[in-house]
Amino acid sequence: MSGVKVSIIVPVHNAKNYIAETVKSVLSQTENDWELILAENGSDDGTKEELEKISGSDKRIRVLYLTTKGAANARNEGLKAAKGRYIAFLDADDLWKPEKLEHEISFMTQKNAAFAFTGYEFGDEDANPTGKIVRVPETLNHKQAMKNTTIFTSTVIFDTTLIEKDRLFMPDIKSEDTALWWSVLRQGYLAYGLDENLVLYRRPAKSLSSNKIEALRRIWYLYRKWEKLNFIKSVWYFINWAFRAVGRRI
CB-CB contact of 149 with 160 (8 Å): no
Say how far apart CA 71 and CA 74 lie, in whole Å.
Answer: 5
Q: Where are the domains of the chain?
A: 6-205
146-195 residue pLDDT tens: 988 799 999 999 999 999 999 999 999 989 999 999 999 999 999 999 99
Per-residue pLDDT for 209 more than 70? no
Res 83: pLDDT: 97
Name which of 15-24, 94-103, 203-212, 221-230 the model is least confident about: 203-212
Q: pLDDT band for position 207 (50/70/90)?
A: very low
Say how far apart CA 165 and CA 3 lie, in whole Å.
Answer: 14
If we measure between CA atoms, which residue out of 55, 53, 71, 60 comes closest to residue 12?
Answer: 71
CB-CB contact of 102 with 28 (8 Å): no
Per-residue pLDDT for 248 more than 70? no
Task: Please count the CA atoms within 13 angstroms of the CA of 154 that sit on its side-chain side.
Answer: 26
Greatest alpha-carbon pair distance for the chain in Å reads 54
Q: pLDDT band for position 14 (50/70/90)?
A: very high
Does domain 6-205 match CATH 3.40.50.1820?
A: no
Average pLDDT score over the chain: 93
Indicate the pTM of the whole model. Answer: 0.93
Q: pLDDT band for position 2 (50/70/90)?
A: low
Q: Per this entry, what is the length of the chain?
A: 250
76-85 residue pLDDT tens: 999 999 999 9
Res 214: pLDDT: 85
